[in-house]
Amino acid sequence: MRETCVMTFCKFFVDKVNRIHSNIAVALQSTVRSAFTDRPYLGPALSSFQPVTTEEEHRLLSAMPSKSSPLDVLPCSLLKACTDTFLPVIAKLANLSMQTGKFPSRYKQAQVLPLLKQAGLDRSSPANCKPISNLSTVSKIPERLVLTRLRPHLLESTNFSIYQSAYRKGHSTETALLEILDGVYTAADDKQITVLISLDLSAAFDTVDHEVLLQRLQSQFGVTDTLPSWLRSYLESRTQFVKLGQHHSPAVGLDVGVPQGSVLGPLLFAVYCSPEADVIMSHGVQFHQYADDTQLRLAMSSDNTSDRPTVCLYSLRVLLRSDNGTYKTGCSSTRTNRRHSSLALLISCVPPTQPSHRYVSPTFSYRWPTRSKCSVSCWIAVWLSTNTLWR
């Protein structure tokens, strides 16, 4: 039974990504493409990585959690207990990897565990599960070393979205929520209502196009010389297999995506999505991002007939289809498949302070395959309601 189950899950996770790409290819045939101009990178280029020292390696190993991965040959606790023995070997491995522009192929395999999305769902249905990838602990060591060299350069670039709160020091889900609510409260003080549109990406990390990402790193973030070769080696020729108990599926190749559960993957994904900020701002719509979750915000009077949300959403769809990504926009109060194609529209305002004051929903038009106006919406695990209460 489980032997058949792992094959079913493995096929479903791969077919899901292939299905998204096929849908995009069909949609592009009927989409009027807009010209999106990338902002060129004007700062200093990052052309090489600084060599790794044993002192840096020691600090990194000491800070790593002791939890081991199912793919580890040696327990992480043993690795940390014998640092004097392993440090020279790991430091040499990391330096060779950076100098040659090659990521060790041995560390490109992931073990996938299907995790139930919500309690009470049918465990045997792959659609009710999300894939949780496990990578070897040793593979994350060169990743962390590259991250310490790559992240400062990327975050200092003016092309990195200033409204991205994930993967940045001093930013979190809390700061993202505070920024959104402050905008809603400020609009209410000006006797305006706020339209919140919650967007989420389908199979976000799994649909990243490698060529688009690498080209973006070079042209918009100044990552040059041998560094793109290392990143290409890190991204390509990866495999994964599903394991349940003692049964596992054959390994399958992955042509797209950044590895989930990795150290570098989240930052590379944020770079990949960076042009979204320019598209949204060009339409005069306020927004905030946390990883692949984006919240559009537009303050307006109750009799407003603005078409900006519609035009902004259409432009985003064109951009993301061109990048081989696709938005799922939906009301987060439901977990059904409709969530992949519906529009989460939350009209927020504080209750009127006097009986004679009242707010009515704005009459702007919006066009989306399936539309749903919500009284409650979820963003970054926080439920927001139309009366600005949250939990």
Residues 6+ apart with CB under 8 A from 188: 194, 349, 350, 388
How far, in Å, CA of 19 to CA of 22, rounded?
A: 5
Here the tokens at position 52 are 């790794």
Range with the poorest average pLDDT among 95-99, 252-256, 298-302? 298-302
The residue-averaged pLDDT of 151-162 equals 92
Range with the poorest average pLDDT among 181-185, 201-205, 333-337? 333-337
Q: Are 147 and 264 in contact (CB under 8 A)?
A: yes
Residues 6+ apart with CB under 8 A from 193: 187, 299, 300, 301, 302, 347, 348, 349, 359, 361, 362
Here the tokens at position 136 are 């070897």
Task: Give the Cα-Cα-Cα angle 361, 362, 365 (nearest 5 degrees).
Answer: 125
Residues 6+ apart with CB under 8 A from 262: 133, 135, 140, 143
Can you give the pTM of this predicted structure?
A: 0.81
pLDDT at 168 over 90: no
pLDDT at 335 over 50: no
Query: CB atoms < 10 A from the CB of 297, how many?
Result: 19
- What is the model's pLDDT at position 134? 93
Instruction: Give the mean pLDDT of the chain.
Output: 79
Tens of pLDDT along 133-148? 999 999 999 999 999 9
Tens of pLDDT along 185-244? 888 888 887 878 877 777 888 888 899 999 999 999 999 998 999 999 999 999 999 998
- What is the model's pLDDT at position 222? 95
pLDDT at 382 over 80: no
Q: Are 188 and 349 in contact (CB under 8 A)?
A: yes
